[in-house]
């Protein structure tokens, strides 16, 4: 059973700017398809690459604003306080 109805998917996919999607995918490919970077990512522990991943993918490619910048819309995970 699909998560969204096909008509809903078609509506939102039709509203996407194809040029922006293509640019974002090309940026994604240039960073994450680089064999040297892939090797380094595979060797890193999750905690070591978390900030880089958020910065590169969400900040650089998808256009989110990372904390602590003003009007941020994404943060790294918080430690449990209890």
Q: What is the mean pLDDT of residues 42-50?
A: 87
20 occurs within a structural domain: yes
Q: pTM for this structure?
A: 0.71
Q: Are the CB atoms for 24 and 61 separated by under 8 Å?
A: yes
Higher pLDDT, 46 or 30: 30
75 occurs within a structural domain: no
Q: Using one digit for the tens of pLDDT, what is the confidence trace for 23-38?
A: 999 999 999 999 999 9
23 occurs within a structural domain: yes
Identify the DSSP state of 53: H
79 occurs within a structural domain: no
* The total number of structural domains that make up the chain: 1
Q: Give yes or no for residue 18 having a pLDDT over 90.
A: yes
Structure tokens at 55: 């910065």
Q: Please give the residue range of the domain that contains residue 34.
A: 6-61
């Amino acid at each position: 059973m699909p998560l969204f109805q096909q008509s809903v998917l078609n509506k939102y996919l039709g509203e996407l700017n194809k040029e922006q999607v293509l640019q974002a995918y090309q940026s994604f490919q240039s960073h994450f398809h680089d064999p040297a970077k892939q090797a380094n990512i595979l060797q890193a522990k999750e905690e070591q690459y978390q900030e880089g991943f958020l910065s590169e993918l969400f900040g650089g490619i998808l256009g989110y604003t990372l904390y602590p910048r003003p009007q941020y819309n994404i943060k790294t995970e918080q430690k449990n306080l209890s």
